[in-house]
Amino acid sequence: MEIEGIQITLADIHLVANAIAVKNGFHDLDYRVFEGENPDWIYSGNLLIMPDGQACTVNPGDSIWYIASRLIRRGLERDLETLASCKQVLADTNASEAEKAASFKTLEALSRNTSSSGLRKRIELLLKSGVE
């Protein structure tokens, strides 16, 4: 899956799916930790807590993998809007130094918190090279 040139990798989905499983008392998907229930056994109506603390109700046909993929996609769409907003401020010759500093801080936080390795790389390149 790709959004605005950023590939959501299987590794991205796996990491989020694993975080969802462990946060909800299931064993991790790599079976390194054998505590908890089998994450293959989720049912429609179950309430799962996402890595960000929000609740998600399992719908018919959902799997932890699908829920993780959806969570990453929605997060990436939101994060891309934030990235565009920050780039606009940084490129604005009328923006104050305080506004530009706030945008850099927002980008640094976004890089640390995104579930997308592709977006993280794009932000890190932007921060290293300056705004184009």
Residue 90 · residue 131 · CB < 8 Å: yes
Question: What is the average per-residue pLDDT within 83-90?
Answer: 94
How confident is residue 64, by pLDDT bands cut at 50, 70 and 90?
A: confident
Question: What is the average per-residue pLDDT within 69-88?
Answer: 94
How many angstroms separate the CA atoms of 114 and 79, rounded? 8
**pLDDT score, position 131:** 55
Residue 129 scores a pLDDT above 90: no
